[in-house]
Structure 1
Amino acid sequence: MVVAESVVVKWLTPPEPLPQPAPEMFAHLTEVCFTATATPYAALSRRAEDGGELLLALVTAYLPDAEDGWKWCVDEAVSGGTAFAAELGVLAADLHTALATPSSVLPSPVRHAPDPQAEHGRAPWAGPWAERAEAAVREALALTGGDDGRWLSDRADALRAELAPLAAAGATPLIRIHGDLHVGQVLRWRNGYAVIDFDGNPTVTTADPFQPAARDLAQLTTSLEHVGQVAVRRRDADPLATGAWTAAARAALRGAYLSRLTERGHADLLDLSLVRPFEIEQECRELIYAARRLPRWRYAPMGVLRSWYP
């Protein structure tokens, strides 16, 4: 609900039991002076019958002339513009830098996964990531039917091969990631860009909030792929030109992200070996989402996968 073009009130229906990610993330980001978001003003809660608290609503600033990425980024794909991609890369790097900065809310914001080579004689530690990704592949295969399902099944081994780095990941840094970072969560408004919705991934509610930064980056880059699919499907964009746009936008975003992290002294946050496996998992999750909630969306992840495995 937009109130007097001054604030936005996001009502949770139904209310969610506290703690929830968003209030904590807002408090942390405010304390470390991250401003590339809609300024958070308040969280409204009430007592629950069991004695706990329920989060009712979040109140943030209203951003004039704001459009989300499923509008402005599709426009960019149709026009062939890629200048925005570097700005998105910088935005993501600044967000991760802020999330890796200590505050009273998160006094130890960076953790480390165990080194798989640290304890000899034991099976390498793969964390929950490899299992989670394999489960996503398995579920996507089970839920995707028809010609798409047969195509996907024929490439199941190739998909699983891409997940191998997850089982061999080193002691990569873990931070409180956004968790659902796609272009739809990036508003372009009168004064620039703002990342919103720090509620975590609604399709993986049990995920540890501390994850490799590569997961956010992978979701952001795959969302550019989805933008290209939307432009072709709904705006009659040329498929070849759009494919070239996607590749250029991805490269610009990733390059700017890496440069900005290095500039801010946090190059160690990104484990590049994890980006591709997380991209594969994300496309499988898009197929799961399509099967369970929005069947017409299946064309987007299938279009991406077909472009990756021609």
Structure 2
Amino acid sequence: MICLLNRSSIWERLATVPRAGDGRTVDLLMALTSEIPPPYVVRRFHPLPETPPGAAERGFDVDQTNHSVVVGESVVVKWLTPPAPLPQPTPEAFAHLTAVGFTATAAPYAAISRDGELLALVTAYLPDARDGWEWCVDEAAAGRTAFAADLGLLAADLHAALATPSPAFPDPVRLSPASPGPWPGRARTALREALELTDGEDGRWLAARADRVERDFHALEDPGATPLIRIHGDLHVGQILRWRDGYAVIDFDGNPTVSDTDRHQPAARDLAQLTTSLEHAGQVAVRRRDADPAAVGRWAAEAVGSLEDAYRRRLRERGHADLLHDGLLRAFAVEQECRELIYAARHLPRWRYAPMGVLRSWYA
């Protein structure tokens, strides 16, 4: 449902992004109960909890790109910095998941835009939430794998929901074209860029194994009639919160390191990225918690196996077993590690140890 409002005071004060404590985020939430003045547009998903005047605001430092404010310990307003040109995938994903009844996420309340740009997203605040770069690293350091089956069920439920028709996604499942399309070229481009950007001993090690890495992409040449859905696009443990009542998947913005990519992709791409992120959590445990590398290797193998088994079982139970093409998992996982190296080189050099640790375990 799209609405238009009239509480000019707060709308006139949105020329700059509100900061926690300045009161503008609370004023915005209160204004959402009134008529919206042009050029602002509010798209609503679930009823917004009542916000009392003077509700407490605090920062929420979980996103290095945007600025989030928690209001009254019940609502989070994520201010996009800078505003993102529409269309954006998140509002459509919110509308679809709401329509099909998917609840394993922070409940979406509203998306606020102005002049063709998305300004803010309003969602529920999840008490005691920690993202996977905290809780999953704890599990790796302790050698616990019971969580992995829960993540597999969550991922399968998400993909089953994304494959269910709704007014937002009336035709959510497509078949891949007879030709391999852009996937082999995209994977090989990622390998080439990773080789160009990875220097030193790591770069020499990778170059010596480039032929072996490239052979793992051959499965992408003949994917068969693989179902394509609107995948999450950036599904890793950092996007899965463990909170007071369980697990929740968040952030439907897509992969920030990949541009010009059709959001309709094989479910295997999401699953491959999720399982590689377990391997990365293990590398973090070795690096920062002095965990034993051999023990972490065994932990990662068991956790990945448990996650994938639970994922397949849930898809079968929900009548969507055909969504997963097992033959693509390895290729997408290797491509993801190449993309992690590219990300490290361009944005976060200290991260390189994680994908290199995984690749060394795969191509010893």
TM-score (norm 2): 0.81
Q: 2:363 and 2:323 mapped to 1: Cα distance? A: 29
Q: Secondary structure at the match of 2:228?
A: strand
Of the structure 1 ranges 90-99 and 2-11, higher mean CA displacement relative to structure 2 is found in 2-11
Q: 2:347 and 2:354 mapped to 1: Cα distance? A: 14
Q: How does 1:108-257 map to 2 (within 5 A)?
A: 108-115=171-178, 125-257=179-311
Q: Secondary structure at the match of 2:280?
A: helix
Instruction: Kindly provide the amino acid, as one letter, of the partner of residue 282 in structure 2.
Output: G
Q: 2:79 and 2:259 mapped to 1: Cα distance? A: 19
User: For each residue in 1:62-88, what CA deviation from the matched residue of structure 2 results, as whole angstroms up to 9, or x when unmatched?
Assistant: 000000000000000111110100000
Q: 1:11 and 1:159 mapped to 2: Cα distance? A: 40
Q: 1:241 and 1:276 mapped to 2: Cα distance? A: 22
User: For each residue in 1:144-198, what CA deviation from the matched residue of structure 2 results, as whole angstroms up to 9, or x when unmatched?
Assistant: 0000000000000000000000011101000000000000000000000000000
Instruction: Kindly provide the amino acid, as one letter, of the partner of residue 69 in structure 1.
Output: G
User: For each residue in 1:189-244, what CA deviation from the matched residue of structure 2 results, as whole angstroms up to 9, or x when unmatched?
Assistant: 00000000000011112110000000000000000000000000000011111111
Match of 2:112 among 19, 32, 44: 44
User: Per-residue deviation at 1:4?
Assistant: 1.4
Instruction: Kindly provide the amino acid, as one letter, of the partner of residue 80 in structure 1.
Output: G
Residue 55 (structure 1) aligned with residue 118 (structure 2) = yes
Aligned residues: 296
* Equivalent position of 2:9 in the other structure: none
* Equivalent position of 2:320 in the other structure: 266
* Equivalent position of 1:65 in the other structure: 128
User: Per-residue deviation at 1:249?
Assistant: 0.2
Instruction: Kindly provide the amino acid, as one letter, of the partner of residue 252 in structure 1.
Output: S
Instruction: Kindly provide the amino acid, as one letter, of the partner of residue 133 in structure 2.
Output: W
Residue 97 (structure 1) aligned with residue 151 (structure 2) = no
Residue 19 (structure 1) aligned with residue 82 (structure 2) = no
Q: 1:251 and 1:207 mapped to 2: Cα distance? A: 29
Q: 2:326 and 2:289 mapped to 1: Cα distance? A: 33
Instruction: Kindly provide the amino acid, as one letter, of the partner of residue 180 in structure 2.
Output: A
Q: 1:294 and 1:244 mapped to 2: Cα distance? A: 27
User: For each residue in 1:91-111, what CA deviation from the matched residue of structure 2 results, as whole angstroms up to 9, or x when unmatched?
Assistant: 000000000000011110000
Q: 1:173 and 1:19 mapped to 2: Cα distance? A: 24
Q: 2:340 and 2:204 mapped to 1: Cα distance? A: 17
Q: Deviating runs (4+, > 3 A) in structure 1?
A: none
* Equivalent position of 2:138 in the other structure: 75
Q: Secondary structure at the match of 1:237?
A: coil
Q: Secondary structure at the match of 1:102?
A: coil
Structure of higher CA gyration radius = 2
Q: Secondary structure at the match of 1:127?
A: coil
* Equivalent position of 1:28 in the other structure: 96
Identity %: 73
Instruction: Kindly provide the amino acid, as one letter, of the partner of residue 165 in structure 1.
Output: A
> Which consecutive residues of structure 2, in runs of 5 or more, have no partner in the other structure?
1-68
